[in-house]
Chains A and B, each alone.
Chain A
Amino acid sequence: MKLSLGPVLFYWDKAQLGNFYAEMSALPLDVIYLGETVCSKRRAFSLDQWLGLARELQACGQAQIVLSSLTLIEAASELSSLRRLCDNGQLLVEANDMGAVQFMAERKLPFVGGPALNLYNGHALGQLLDSGMIRWVPPVECSAALIGDVLEQVRDMGREVPEVEIFSYGHLPLAYSARCFTARAENRPKDDCQFCCINYPDGLALSSQEGQQLFTLNGIQTMSGEVTNLLADYTALQACGADVLRLSPRAQGMAEVVTAFDKVRQGEAPPLFVEGCNGYWHGHAGMLKVEEAGLC
C-alpha cells in the first residue's frame, strides 16, 4: 500500500508551505501532490515555484511528485493557466476537471483522475482510461462497495483497472461555488477578498444553530466539518483494491498522521476506533461515524 500526501487545500503563505514540505520530505510518503486546486487568486507559489519545489522534493526523496490542477475553471486566465500546467513537461498531472482531461488526452500524456471528476461506474471509467487516466481517485462520496463494483465492472468489460487512490484522511472536499464563503463570512466582496482565507489555515468552521459542527468553509470550497479518517478501516481498504491512501494536509499534526498510517501498512494492527467520520466509506451519510470499523 502506498501513502500519498494530497494537495494543500487551504491557503497557506509561502513560509508555511516551505516549512510543511520540508517536514513532509523526511516522511515515508510515496506520492506528493502539489499545486493550487481551490482558488486561482491564491498565489503563494507560481507554477514555476511549484515546479521548483517538485525538483527539490525529487532530489531529497523517492516520492512521485504530481501536479494537481484547479478544480473549478471559470475565467479565461484560469484556462490558460491550466494549459500551462498540462504543458509543464516534467510532472504527472492530477486532472480535477474535464478540461484538464481533454488537455492531457490531446497531449497523449497519462494523468491521475482527481476526486472532483464524476466517475461512478466502469463505463465512465473506461472513457477516461481511453483518455490516458492511469490512477483513479474516486469521488469522496463513494462507498467501499461502490468502488468495488466499479472495479469489477471494469474487469468484466475486459479492461485493466487503474491504480486506485482513496481519500483516507482530512477534511473532505464537498462542493465548489462561484461564491467565496470565507469572504462572505467576513462581509467582503469576492473581488476585494483581501485574501482573507489565509487567516484560516485549517478553514473556517460552520456549525448549526445548536452548535453541531457541519462544514468547513475554505474560500469557494465547502469541506466536511469533521475530518475523515479511514485508518481503522485499513483492512477493508486493502480488500477493496486500494493501491494508494491519500492523506489531505492539515496545518498541525500531519507528521503524526503519516506515521500512524505508515505503521499500520508496515504490519501494526489498525486501531479499532479513531476520531473522525467514515460514513461515506460504509455507504452512509458522510458525516456519520461507524464505530469499531476495524471489527467489520
Chain B
Amino acid sequence: MQLVCPAGNLPALKAAVRQGADAVYVGFRDDTNARHFAGLNMDDKQFDAAVAHIRQHQRKLYVAVNTYPQPKGWERWQRAVDRAADFGVDALIAADPGVLSYASQRHPRLALHLSVQGSATHAAALAFYAQRYDIRRAVLPRVLSLAQVRQVAAGSPVPIEVFGFGSLCIMAEGRCHLSSYITGESPNLCGVCSPAKAVRWSEDAQGLSARLSEVLIDRYTPEEPAGYPTLCKGRFLVGGKRFHALEEPTSLDTLDLLPELTAIGVEAVKIEGRQRSPAYVEQVTRVWRAALDAHQAAPQRFRVREEWRQVLAGLSEGSQTTLGAYHRSWQ
C-alpha cells in the first residue's frame, strides 16, 4: 500500500521524502486547491525544486487542483492543469467534471485521480468518472464504514485511496456548505473551511471565546484546552444541552485498520495536512512508514506500537484520535 503524504511547502515535502513517503501531494499558490491558506503552497520556483527533489529520490508527485472553478476564474484552473502537465507530475487530483474533462482531453498522458472533494462513495459514481475521464484512482470520502469501503473497492472500476490520518471532516467532503453559510467562504469554491480571517478570539469574565464571523463557536474556561474554531467542532446548544453537537476536536487515525485496508486491496493511504508544519509531516510520515513496513514484513504479527500511538495522539486535535466512520459506533 502506497503512503501519500501532504506538503504545503518545500521543507515539508523534503521531510516527507526523508521519512519514506511513496508520494507527496501539493498545490499551487492560489484558490485552485482545497488548502488555499495564506503562506501555503508553492510558486513556480519552489515547484521546480520540488519536482527535482522528487525525481532525485524516485518518489511520486501529485498536484491537487481540486476546488470547483467558477466561470470568472476558469482560465486559472486551466492554467493549473497545464502547469501540472508541463511540470510532468505523476498525477493530477481533481473533482470538477469540467476540469477533469479539460485535463483528459488536453493532456491524455496525465494520470487523473478523483479528489475526495468529488464525493464519490460507491461504484456507480466512480464509473461516471472512470468512463468519461479515464481516472486511474479515486480518493474515498471519510463517510464509509470499513465494510462499505470493502464493497466499494470490490466494485470499483479504479483502485482506491483512503484517508489514514489527520483532521477529520465529519461531513461528506464536497457536500458541506456549513462554512459558507457562516462566513461566505466554502471548501468547494474558495478552498477554505472556517477561514482564519473570520476567526476572532476574546477573553472576558465568561472565559475565552472563539468566534467565526462573530458567531460564537466555543467558549473555554481557563482549565480547558482551546482549539481552532472549526465550526463543526464547537460546542453548541441543542434541546437546552451544551455539547459537541456535531463532533469533538479529534483526528482520524486508522493505524489499527492497516491489516484490513491492505486485505481489501486499498492502493494508497493518504495523510491529511498540507496546512501542517514540516515537523508534523516528518513525524506522521515516520510513524506510518514504520507501520506499513512492519506490516509488510510480518502481516500476521502486526501490532500497533505504543510509541506510534503516542506520537500520533500528540499531533492530534484535542490530543485524541478516532476511527471515524470506519467504525459504525462513531456514526
Contact = CB atoms under 8 A, between A and B. Distances in A.
A207 B236 contact: yes
The interface centre, meaning the residue of A71, A79, A181, A209 with most chain B CB atoms within 10 A of its CB, is A209
A206 B235 CA distance: 10
Interface in B227-248: 235-239, 241-242, 245-247
Interface in A204-242: 204-212, 214-215, 217, 222, 224
A217 to B, nearest CB: 7
A181 B245 CA distance: 7
B171 interface: yes
B180 A286 contact: yes
Interface residues of A: mostly helix, strand, loop or mixed? mixed
A287 B247 CA distance: 21
A150 B331 CA distance: 37
B98 A72 contact: no
Interface in B127-151: 127-129, 131-132, 142-145, 148, 151
Contacts of A208: 215-217, 236-237
Interface string B104-118: 000000000000011
A287 to B, nearest CB: 5
B119 interface: yes
Contact of B177 (A126, A175, A185, A189): A175
B328 A191 contact: yes
Nearest to B185: A285
A296 interface: no
A210 B245 contact: no
B97 A127 contact: yes
B315 interface: no
Interface residues of B: mostly helix, strand, loop or mixed? mixed
Contacts of B181: 141, 172, 174, 215, 224, 280, 285-287
Contacts of B59: none
Given A184-B245, A189-B329, A217-B245, A74 B180 contact: no
B69 A121 contact: yes
B123 A206 contact: no
Nearest to B247: A179
Contact of B237 (A124, A125, A207): A207
Contact of A222 (B151, B184, B246): B246
A40 interface: no
A72 B128 contact: no
Contact of A190 (B97, B122, B331): B331
A141 B98 contact: no
Contacts of B178: 174-175, 215, 222
B245 A206 contact: yes
Contacts of A97: 119, 121, 125
A103 B127 CA distance: 10
B97 A128 contact: yes
Contacts of A150: 70-71
Interface in A125-171: 125-128, 131, 139-141, 146, 149-150, 152-153
Contacts of A283: 184
A73 interface: yes
A-B pairs, top 5 by smallest CB distance, nearest first, are A123-B98, A99-B124, A178-B325, A286-B181, A124-B98
Given A150-B71, A179-B247, 12 more contacts: A72-B121, A74-B143, A74-B145, A116-B175, A118-B175, A120-B189, A123-B98, A124-B68, A126-B98, A176-B172, A179-B330, A191-B331
Interface of B: 68-72, 74, 95-99, 101-102, 117-125, 127-129, 131-132, 142-145, 148, 151, 170-172, 174-178, 180-184, 186, 188-189, 213, 215-219, 235-239, 241-242, 245-247, 325, 328-331
